Structure 1
Amino acid sequence: MPSAKFSLTLAAATMILAAAPAEASPRSYQLICKGGGAMLATVKSNATISLRFSPGGDAGVVQAGQCTWVDRGFREGEPNVLSLAGDRDGTAYLLDNMLSGDRFYVHVYNDSNGRMVVTRTGL
């Protein structure tokens, strides 16, 4: 009889978990950036990078050291730090483009803690 009680409890728990809403990841939006200028990177040994940039004022138009949204300029108070954790390829992509002064793209969301968290690098 104990196993029947366990099965009922397990079945109830499974139904509760299935009914609970899944935690969705925040929606990301695309930025276009151009390395160089006053752009500054801080890199840790675990492939975590923080990249400080100047906010661009016009949609899709960037000067050296700037990032802007592809569809609008930055708004007052939006973070000007890209943050990427534990992604060696992504960290290399950001550093290479920052140092070369090339244009690059990232998909980010505002974490409401002063950072734009990178969810994808490249187009």
Structure 2
Amino acid sequence: MSRDDELGRAFGLPATDPYVICWRDLDESSTAEELDRLKDWVDWVTSRYDLDHKVVPPCWAAHGAVVEELSALRTLWESCYQDDAAPTDPVAFHRDLTLAMRRLRDWTSMLGCTRTVHRG
């Protein structure tokens, strides 16, 4: 990451390219920071698309598979709205959102978490 990108992130500015996270490579401190950053997007997407706790449980950050799915979805969303994105990219995001919602619902169901209970 360039110095400009680091400064931009420090001030909460969007990255110039889609922001890809390799969660496996992060230390504990970096993981916490990235979860905070992802939380902002998850809050927005769950509100914007009216996703309930059966798709994205309140304890999503405690479940690696759910974090990976949401992080990948955010990266796709960011790439679809870049200056050089194709006009059809937002439609592709919505196609993939439908698939991701199915996977998230399946994982949440297997986890057994509810709106008020975390089973981790």
**Please, what TM-score do these two structures have when normalized by structure 2?**
0.28
RCO higher in 1 or 2 (8 Å CA, sep ≥ 6)? 2
User: Which structure: larger Rg?
Assistant: 1
**Please, what TM-score do these two structures have when normalized by structure 1?**
0.27
Choose between structure 1 and 2: higher strand proportion.
1
Choose between structure 1 and 2: higher helix proportion.
2
